[in-house]
Amino acid sequence: MDSATNGVTFSVPYEMAVVRPLRQTTEPERQAALARAHYNTDIIPQELIYIDLSTDSGVSASSIGQLAAAAQPVEPGMGLASEGSAAYGRLAAALQRYFGFEYFVPTTQGRSAERIWTKINIKPGSVVAGNLLFPSTRNHIEMVGAQIVDVIGEAAHDFVTDEPFKGNIDLNKLEQLIQEKGAGQISCVYVELSVNSCGGHPVSLDNLRSVKAIAARHKIPLFLDACRLLENSALIQAREAAYRQRSLADIVRETCALADGGTMSALKDFLVTTGGFIFTRDRSSQQKAAMQSFLDGVQLSAGAMEAISVTLPEIFASEAYMTQRVEQVKYLWDRLAGTVPALRPASGHGVFIDLKKFFAPIVPEPFAAEALAAFVYLKSGIRLSKGPPLAPSQAARGVQLLRLAVPARKYLNGHMDDVAEAMRYAYARRNEIMGLKKIDDPARSKYDPVHFVTL
C-alpha cells in the first residue's frame, strides 16, 4: 500500500500498444545459426533472437507521444544557426527544467559528446581521475594524450559483499593522486554514474558531494558521465537514508548540481534511438563544443531533439518508470543470485555474472563469456554479450564477466523468467559448455567480428 496513491500500489506505468512478434526457434535452427555466425552470438541475425540482452542502448519501446512527435514535420535544426531552431528551444527548456545546467550541446550519441568534450577540456600529458570509466570515454581521454587513473573504491572489485554504492570514488585515493601529481596536472575528475564495467553499481550523493568538495578545493572540474543518471538516482532513493523521502526529480537535480559539466548518452535511460549531450556551466565551452559538433557532423537533427523533448516529461511524470526499471533488474537478479554467481548487490541496468565463480574450480578460458553466450543461445535463443571491455585495472586482476543488459521499457517479467531459466540450466550443465578458440585468419582485418571454432 502506498499513501501517495491512496492505497493502490502501482507498478508498470504503461500498457502494450504495439508489439513485435518474437521468433521461437528450434534447437537445430539455432545450432545452424551459431555455426553460420562462427559461434559469435553478436552477429546472429536479429530475427533468430528470442530475447536480446546484449545491450540496453537504443532499443526501448517508443511511446505514443514519441511516435506522434516523429510523425510531425519539424523545421531543420542543424547548421551554424541550430540554436535558433524551435526544436532546440523546446529541448533547452526541457533540459534546463530537469537537469539544471545552464548550457548544453546536443550530439548524435554519448560517444560523439565525449569526443568533443574531452578534446576541449583534457590537456595532453595530464591525468584524469575516474571510476572505471566506460571504454568510449576512456578511449577519448587517451586519444587526447591524457592518462586515466582509477580512484574507485576497492569494493568495486568485490563481487560478493552487499555494499550499496560500489561505484563510489575512494576519497583517500583521490587526495593522494592530487598530492602526487599536483592539482595543475589533473584535467578533471570524471565520474560515471552506475559504473558499467564493474556491475552497474551506483555512486552515492554523499560520495559525490565529498568528491566535489575535494575537486573544488583544488580547482579541478568535476564531470559526470550521466547516461545512467536515472537508475543511479533510483538506487540513491532506495539505498541512501537521507534521500528516501526525496523525489527522483530532486535527486537528479541535486546530482547534476554537483557537476561542472559532463556528457550523456540519451539511448539508455532516456528511451530514444539517437542523441547525446554535453552539459556545461561555461558559455565559452558551450560555444566551442557547438562549433566542433558542426565541424564533426554530429549535430542532432531537429526530429531527434523533438523526440527527447517529448520523452523527458513522460519519464518524469511518474516515478514508476524509473523505479520499475530498477525493480525489473532486481526481479531477474533475485531469480539468479541464489544459484548462478551474479555480482552482488543487484544494480540498475543489468545482471553481471562472475565467470571465475561460474566455471570454478576450472579457470575460465579467454573466451569463456563468448562460450557461455553461445551455449545460452543454443539452448534458449537468448542473446547475451560480454559487455563493455574491462578497464585495464580489472583485466590485471583477472576479472571475467558476462553482462545481461536489461533494456528499459522493452521486456516483461515473463521474459526475465525465461532468461533466469536459461541461465540456471547453463549453470547446472556448465561442464557441457564447449570452449571456443579464435580463428586467426590473415585475410580478415582486426576490425572484422571475431570468428571462433569450438574446442
Site string for ligand F0G, 380-419 (x = CB under 6 A): --------x----------------x--------------
At position 252, the amino acid (one-letter code) is V
Closest by alpha carbon to 214, among 129, 97, 281, 107?
129
Site for ligand F0G in 167-196 (CB under 6 A): 192, 196
- Only one residue has cell 559504473, namely 195
57 binds ligand F0G (CB under 6 A): yes
Q: How far is CA 328 from CA 29, 70, 141, 392, 413, in A?
A: 30, 28, 34, 31, 7
335 binds ligand F0G (CB under 6 A): no
Nearest approach, Cβ of residue 237 and ligand F0G (Å): 20
Binding piece for ligand F0G, criterion CB under 6 A, among 132-140, 280-288, 303-311, 332-340:
132-140
> Grid coordinates representing 60?
526501448
106 binds ligand F0G (CB under 6 A): no
Nearest approach, Cβ of residue 332 and ligand F0G (Å): 17
Q: Name the residue nearer to ligand F0G (CB basis): 272 or 433.
A: 272
Distance CA 300, CA 272 (A): 12
Question: Is residue 385 helix, strand or coil?
Answer: strand
Closest by alpha carbon to 152, among 131, 176, 177, 129?
131
> Grid coordinates representing 412?
516483461
273 binds ligand F0G (CB under 6 A): no
The H or E element containing residue 413 is: helix 413-428
63 binds ligand F0G (CB under 6 A): no
Binding piece for ligand F0G, criterion CB under 6 A, among 106-114, 140-148, 181-189, 411-419:
106-114
Binding piece for ligand F0G, criterion CB under 6 A, among 41-49, 85-93, 130-138, 232-240:
130-138
Q: Name the residue nearer to ligand F0G (CB basis): 53 or 178.
A: 53
110 binds ligand F0G (CB under 6 A): yes
Sequence-ordered alpha helix ranges (H) in 274-367: 283-296, 302-316, 319-337, 355-359
Site for ligand F0G in 5-44 (CB under 6 A): none
Nearest approach, Cβ of residue 32 and ligand F0G (Å): 27
Sequence-ordered alpha helix ranges (H) in 144-268: 171-181, 205-217, 229-239, 248-257
Closest by alpha carbon to 187, among 163, 164, 215?
215
126 binds ligand F0G (CB under 6 A): no
Query: How many chain residues bind ligand F0G (CB under 6 A)?
Result: 17
Binding site for ligand F0G (CB under 6 A): 55, 57, 109-111, 134, 136-137, 192, 196, 225, 227, 265, 267, 276, 388, 405
